[in-house]
Structure 1
Amino acid sequence: MTSINRRSVLKGGVVLTVGALAAPSIGGRALAADTIKLGSILDTSGIFDAYGKPMDMAMRLAVDQINAAGGLNGQQIEVVSYDTQSDMALYTQYAQQLTRKDKTDVVHGGILSASREAIRQILRKAKMPYFYNVLYEGGVCDRNIVVTGVTPAQQVEVLVPAAIKKWGPKVYILAADYNYGQITARWMEKYAKDAGGEAVSTDFFPLDVADFGSAIAKIQQAAPDVILSALVGGNHLSFYRQWAASGMKDKIPLASTTLGVGNEHKVLTPEEGNGILVAYNYAPAIETPENQAFQKAWTDKYGDTSLIHEIAVSNYQGIQVWAEAVRQGGGTGSEAITSAIEGGLSIVGPGGKVTIDPKTHHATLDVHLMEFENQQMKVLENFDQRPPIDTQAVCDLQANPDDNTQYEIKID
C-alpha cells in the first residue's frame, strides 16, 4: 500500500495528526467484563496519518453503531487501539501486546504492506483473526487473514483499458520503486497489452524522489498517449504539480492507481488534478441508501465528510464483515470466524456489496471508474462485483488450508 509524507491534507487546514500514544486507547460505552475486544493497530500520527486517522475514525464509527444496536451476540465491543506513530518497528511490538497482554479477539490494522507482513505471522501464531482492510498488490494466502481492499486485477483491469480507450494505446508507466509499485507496474503492462496497447517505458522512483524534471523530459521525448501512475506518497505528489507546471497536463493525460486513496486530490489544485482517471471501490457520490446512511452517521459523529477516503471506507466495511462473521459463526474464536468467512459471507457497505471469497479470504467488490473534477471524484462507469482473480490464480485455502505464503503472482 501507499504512503504520504505530509501533515495536513484537507481544505480548511484540518490537521490529521494526533498525539503519540504511550498507552492503548480504549473506547466505547461503559465496558462490561465480558466485552469482545477489538484490537486496532494504525498509523494515526506521523507521516502516514493521512491514511491512519480516517481509518481509525471509521473503525470507531462502526463499533459505535454495532454497540448501539445491541452489540454482537449480546456482548458490547471494546476497542483497544495502538498508534504506531508511522514507525514500522512498533507494529511488531503492539501486535505482541494485543496477543499476549490485551488478549483481544481480533485485530484490524496495518496500512503499508510492510506493516501487514510485520504483524501477520504474530497474529497467525496466536490464532487471532486478522483483517487487513487496505488495497494492496495481491497474493497473500493465509487462512488467518481476511483482506477487504481491492487488488490489481480488480482495479488495474478497469483503469488501464479505460485509459487506452479514452486516450490511445501508447502508455508510459511511472511507479514507486518498492513491492507495490513494481508489481502494479507489471499489471499495468499486462492490461495495456491485453487492451491492444503497449508500454513505451516503465520508470521506477525511490520514495524520497521529489524532483521529476528529468522524468518529464523523458516523457516528452517518448510522446505517449497517456501516463499510468503508481507513484506513492508526499514526495511523489510533486510529480503531478510539476507535470501541470510544465504545461504538459493538457497534452498527455494521466491515470493513477493511488492518487486520492488518502485524499491527495484535495491537496492538488483543480488545475493540477482535473481529468486524472482513477478506479476505486468507494465512490463518494454514489447515492445508495448505505452510502447516504454512512455519510450521515459520519457527519453526526465528526462534523463533516471531508476526511472520508477509500481505505477509511474499506476499514469500516472490514469491521462490518468481521461483525457479521461473529454473528454467523456464533463466536469470536478463529474457527468460528473462519467457518463463517468460508461460507461466502456478504455485507452491503458504503462501497456496495462486499462478498468474501472462501478460497482466498479476499473480497469481491464493486469498482467505480472516476475522474477528478474540482477536487471531487466524478463517477464515469460502474463495474459490479469484481472478484480477486489475481489472488485466486495462486491461492486455494479450501484445498490447502495450511498455506502461509505471499505469492508473487505470475503475470503473462
Structure 2
Amino acid sequence: MLLESSAAKTKAVTVGSILITTGLVLSGCGSKAANSPTAEARSCVDVSGPSIKVGSLNSLSGTMAISEVTVRDAIALAVEEINAGGGVLDKKIELIGEDGASEPTVFAEKAEKLIKNDCVAAVFGGWTSSSRKAMLPVFEINDALLYYPVQYEGLESSKNIFYTGATTNQQIVPALNYLKEKGITSLYLVGSDYVFPQTANRIIKAYADANGIEIKGEDYTPLGSTDFSTIVNKVRTAGADAVFNTLNGDSNVAFFREYKNAGLTAQKMPVVSVSIAEEEIGGIGVQNVEGQLTAWNYYQTNDSPANKAFVAAYKAKYGQNKPTSDPMEAAYASVHLWKNTVEKAKSFDVTAIQDNAGGVTYDAPEGLVTIDGANNHITKTARIGEIRPDGLIYTVWESPGPIEPDPYLKTYPWAAGLSG
C-alpha cells in the first residue's frame, strides 16, 4: 500500500511539473507546440562570442543543501580548470548558477529559465530523482541537455540527460552482492518517501527474493524528517542482520544519532548507505557512523594521480577541511565529459553532442569512465567503503574494473518485470 501511495505521489509531482513547465514554454519564447523542440530552443545558444554559457542547478537551500552545495562547488572547479586550459573550442565557459531549493517544481522552473532565458548550452545538476523527473520533460520539450551527477534507481534513459552517477547495477546490486558474500541473510529497509528509495527498495526486494534474503521490515519518512524514534525502535526489535539505508539529505543526521542512542552499532547491525558521503559525515558526527558501510563509486581516499590532483585542487579552492565525495566527483567529471564530447563533435549543437557522445572517455578521479551512447550512462567502478574515525571512507571492496551501465537491469533474470 505504501508503494502504491508513493507512486501516486511521484506521478502527481511529475505530471504537475510537466504542466508547469509546458506553460512556461508556451509563454516564454514563442508559442510552438510543446510536444516538439521549438525553433527558439535550438537557436538560443549564442556561439558567436568569446564565451559559452552553461548552468549549474543545485539545492543551495532546504533539506538537500547539506549534500548539494558541494556539488555546485565541484562544477565551478571544473569550469575554472577548463577555462585555465583554454576553454572549450577556444571559448571560455560562463557558469550561471541557480538554486533548486530542494523542491522538484523549483528545479523545473529554474531549468526552464536557464534554457530559455540564459540560453545555456548544457545544465549540470539535480540530486533527488524527484527533481530529475520534474526536469526531464523540460529538457526534452526544449531539446536541451542535462548532466545528472547522482546515483539513482535506474529504469530510465533519455537522450536529453547524461547520467554520470551510478545506475542500479553499478551501486545497489554490487552492495547486495557484498552483503550476501558476508553472510547477511536478512535486511531492514529504511528510506525517504520519494521515487528513488521506493524504486530502489522494489529492486532490493526482487534481489532478496531471488537470493534467499529475508526483508524484516520497510519504512519510509518524508524528506527532512527528524524524528526517528519509532522507526529505529522497529529496526532494533526486528532482528535483521543489516539495514539498507536510502534516506537522503539531513534526515540522515537524525537517523544515525537515534540509531546510536538505541545502542545499535556497526558491529551489532551494520547499515549500508547509498546516499551519504564524506560531506554528510561531518553533519552526522563521525562518532555516530564510525564503522558503518557505504556503497559508491568514488571516495576521497581513492589512490590515483587523477584523484590526488582533484582533492588538492578542491581543498586549495574551498578549504583544507572540505572533503570530496562521490556526487561531487561525478559532477566534476560530467563537466569534463561534456567538454570532451563537444570537442569530439566540434560543435555545441545538441544533436551533434548526442551523436558523438558514445565512447567519449575521461580519466576521472574515480577512474576511467566512458559514455555508453546507447543509454547516455557511463561506466563506473563499484566500491564498498567503511567510515573510519577520521571521518573519511576507505574502500573495503571494489569491482575488478568499470561496470557497463545496465539501467533497466536487462542482464538480471530476477529483475524481469521491474521496468514494466
Query: How far off its partner does 1:211 sit?
Result: 2.9
**Superposed displacement of residue 392, structure 1:** 6.0
Give 1:410's match in structure 2, choosing from 404, 411, 418.
418
Say which is worse superposed, 359-368 or 266-275, in terms of deviation. 266-275
CA-CA distance at 1:411 after TM superposition: 6.8
**Residue in 1 that maps onto 2:269:** 252
Distance 1:195 1:353, change over 3 A: farther
The farther-off stretch of 150-159 and 93-102 is: 93-102
SS at structure 2 position matched to 1:122: helix
Using the TM superposition, give the Cα deviation of residue 146 of structure 1 relative to its aligned residue in structure 2, in angstroms. Answer: 0.7
2:287 equivalent to 1:271: yes
* 1:333 alignment counterpart: 349
Contact 2:169 2:405 in 1 (8 A): yes
Deviation of 1:195 after TM superposition, in Å, equals 4.2
Cα deviation digits, residues 317-360 of structure 1 (max 9, x gap) = 11011000001011110111111213x21111111111111111
Residue by residue over 1:61-92, the C-alpha shift from the partner in whole angstroms, topping out at 9 and shown as x without a partner, is 11111111111121111112222333443323
Aligned equivalents of 1:115, 1:192: Cα separation in 2: 28
CA contact under 8 A between 1:159 and 1:277: conserved in structure 2? no
DSSP 3-state at the match of 1:229: strand
Aligned equivalents of 1:216 and 1:286: distance in 2? Answer: 32
Distance 2:238 2:56 in 1: 46
Instruction: Describe the SS at the equivalent of 2:171.
Output: helix
CA contact 1:129–1:145 (8 Å) conserved in 2? yes
Residue deviations 1:275-311 (CA, integer Å, cap 9, x gap) = 2111101111111011011112112222326242221
Contact 2:103 2:131 in 1 (8 A): no
1:361 aligned to 2:376? yes
CA distance in 2, matches of 1:81, 1:300: 21
Alignment length (residue pairs) = 367
Report deviation, 1:116. 1.8
Is the CA contact 2:216–2:239 (under 8 Å) kept in the aligned structure 1? no
What is the CA-CA distance between 1:386 and the residue it aligns to? 1.4
- The residue that corresponds to 1:207 in the other structure is 223
3-state SS of paired residue (1:285): coil
1:356 maps to a residue whose letter is I
Structure 1 residue 59, shift from structure 2 partner: 1.0
Instruction: State the Cα distance separating 1:234 from its structure 2 match.
Output: 2.0
Q: Please name the residue that 1:315 is paired with.
A: 331
Q: Is the 8 A contact 2:193 2:221 kept in 1?
A: yes
Which residue in the other structure is 1:186 paired with?
202
Contact 2:253 2:283 in 1 (8 A): no
Range with greater deviation from structure 2 (93-102 or 353-362): 93-102
Report the CA distance between 1:316 and its aligned residue: 0.3
Cα distance, 1:245 vs. partner?
1.2
Are 1:388 and 2:405 an aligned pair?
yes
Q: Aligned in 2, Cα 1:67/1:208: closer, same or farther, shift over 3 Å? A: closer
- Unaligned stretches of 5+ in structure 1? 1-30, 395-407
- TM-score by length of structure 2 reads 0.81
Deviates most, 189-198 or 70-79: 189-198
Answer 1 or 2: which has greater strand percent.
1
Describe the shift of the 1:46–1:127 C-alpha distance in structure 2 as closer, same or farther (beyond 3 A).
same
Tell me what 1:9 maps to.
Answer: none
Q: Give unmatched runs, 5+ long, in structure 2.
A: 1-46
Q: Which residue number corresponds to residue 370 of structure 1?
A: 385
Q: Which residue of 106, 129, 133 maps to 1:117?
A: 133
| RMSD of aligned Cα (Å) | 2.4
Q: Do 2:60 and 2:100's aligned partners in 1 also have CA atoms closer than 8 Å?
A: yes
Cα contact 1:341–1:358 (8 A) shared by 2: yes
What CA deviation, in whole Å up to 9, does each residue of 1:172-197 have, x standing for no partner?
22222221111111222233344442
**1:81 corresponds to which of 49, 73, 97:** 97
Q: Which amino acid aligns with 1:63?
A: V
* Partner in structure 1 of residue 60 of structure 2: 44
Change (3 A) 1:307 1:45: farther
1:142 alignment partner in structure 2? 158
Q: Structure 1, residues 97-132: CA drift from partner, whole Å, max 9, x if none?
A: 222222111111222222222222222222222211
Distance 1:227 1:321, change over 3 A: same
